A = this chain, B = another copy of it.
Amino acid sequence: VTLTPRTPDASIRRVTRGEIVAIGSELLLGGRPDTNSLFLTDGLATAGVDVRFKSVVGDDVADLVAVLRTACRRADVVLMTGGLGPTRDDCTRRAVATLTGRALRRHPEAFEIMRKRLAVWGRTPTAAQRRQALIPAGAEVLDNPIGSAPGFCLTWKRCLLAALPGVPREAQQMFARSLAPKLRARVRGAAPTIGHRLIHTFGLPETEVEARLDGVIRAGPGLRLGFLSSPLGVTVSLTEVRANGAPPRLERSVRTVYRRLGPYVYGEEQETMEQIVGRQLAARRLTLAVAESCTGGLIGHRLTEVAGSSTYLDRVAVCYSNRAKERMLGVPARLIRRRGAVSAEVAAAMAAGIRARSGAAIGLSVTGIAGPGGATPDKPVGLVFVGLETPDLRRARVQEFRFHGDRQTIKLRASQAALNLLRQWLLSRPAALTKR
């Protein structure tokens, strides 16, 4: 749910409008994160282009021509990704040639770059790879520093049409190096500038986040306010479309969000909770050991997505069985019998156990019922306890949560709650605290 302005004003009409066209029959199926759009939307905004539409189309020349025709009518900048590979049915080159009525010609420079790159690997271009140097006449080649497919761009009916590879890393490098400078030159100084900010919160429902900002941030044509809800929390999105000479409002609005939601804000932009916690642990030279039950390894997985995490993460014990909780963490069998494996007492014992056995400065634990099975009348699916034992506390602190959702959602929320408890404790410690 995003609150957008309903009355367009002059500044909005002058904005350079962008459309992303993703090409590939497999993309119509969905199911995987679309990492290109995230990067390109951001990059386009930085260059002053407001992405208003995205289209996905299969590897079919006629379908792609139809999509491009529509895109060029409603947008000033059209960015294609995919369909530049070597097989016969990678059809971006042919579709652009058909749309613009230009012939496909072998581009000597593009061919030479490809030949040289393959020579480094001791190979010569195959017939299929030669096809990749076919570029619509008059188009400018965009070099691909890390892959074989060159991109290209041209202007047609006052619209800038650019073709990038489908591989995210290649598309991103080509965009940053070759296309972004061209875009900045094209979007004239007189055009409105666009600013984006994402502020991530955890611990409040979306309705409550919205209510706290209602009337305080005046969304309108120049400032769009949006809310993105996920199992990892609610993200507040602010987009400023600022006419040349108009006063900036974005930073003031960001400060307002912090004033209203402060304790719930954990990060900004592309930062993840695990990156933030990792940075704080490294700055304080503290080591961490984790005992997981219902999250099944997700906390360890998330922490180790961050490069360099081996400097602060010592170990993770995933104790799915009660016996594992007793043996790996020293949780007394009697405690589990009396209180149940999902209880505040066992969460505390798990945090204390992993800390003592590992010798790490901090012990973090989670136990809960991810469902769909395992619930009892007094312990419903979604009941989760998070435990934290640290050098400064006489005993582990425990938080109780009741999460809604399916198994995957509850695991995600529980992992986020555990990392957030750790983050809050770390914030209260000076960065100079010595290692235990």
Which residues from chain A sit less than 8 Å from chain B, CB to CB?
A: 1-4, 6, 8, 24-38, 41-42, 51-63, 66-67, 70, 74, 85, 87-90, 169, 210, 224, 226-228, 230, 237, 290, 292, 294-305, 307-310, 313-321, 323-324, 327-328, 357-358, 370-374, 406-408, 411
Contacts and interface: CB of A to CB of B under 8 A. Distances in A.
B61 A6 contact: yes
B327 A357 contact: yes
Contacts of A62: 8
A324 B357 CA distance: 10
11 contacts: A32-B33, A53-B55, A53-B56, A54-B55, A295-B304, A296-B305, A296-B316, A304-B411, A307-B373, A314-B324, A315-B324
B37 A41 contact: no
A54 B56 contact: yes
Given A2-B24, A53-B67, A31 B30 contact: no
A3 B27 CA distance: 14
Given A26-B2, A54-B28, A58-B52, A301 B304 contact: no
Copies in the complex: 2
A210 B315 contact: no
Contacts of A51: 28
Nearest to A166: B1
A118 to B, nearest CB: 14
A264 B29 CA distance: 23
A308 B374 CA distance: 9
A316 B297 contact: yes
Interface SS of chain A: helix, strand, loop or mixed? Answer: mixed
A35 B30 contact: yes
B320 A25 contact: no
Contacts of A58: 2, 4, 52
A34 B37 contact: no
Contacts of A358: 324, 327
A160 to B, nearest CB: 19
A54 B41 CA distance: 18
B308 A373 contact: yes
Nearest to A298: B301
Given A1-B90, A318-B300, A320-B315, A30 B26 contact: no
Contact of A33 (B30, B55, B328): B30
A224 B89 CA distance: 11
B32 A230 contact: yes
Interface centre among A296, A305, A310, A374 (most CB of B within 10 A): A296
A37 B31 contact: yes
Given A29-B41, A305-B408, A315 B298 contact: no
B324 A304 contact: no
Nearest to A228: B26
Nearest to A325: B315
A18 B75 CA distance: 24
Contacts of A55: 53-56
B56 A66 contact: no
Nearest to A85: B1
B317 A304 contact: no
A271 to B, nearest CB: 13
A36 B304 CA distance: 29
A25 B227 CA distance: 9
Interface centre among A1, A60, A294, A305 (most CB of B within 10 A): A1
B28 A37 contact: yes
A105 to B, nearest CB: 21
Given A53-B56, A55-B55, A30 B37 contact: yes
A300 B304 contact: no
Contacts of A53: 28, 55-57, 63, 67
Nearest to A370: B304
A414 to B, nearest CB: 11
Given A226-B26, A411-B304, A4 B89 contact: yes
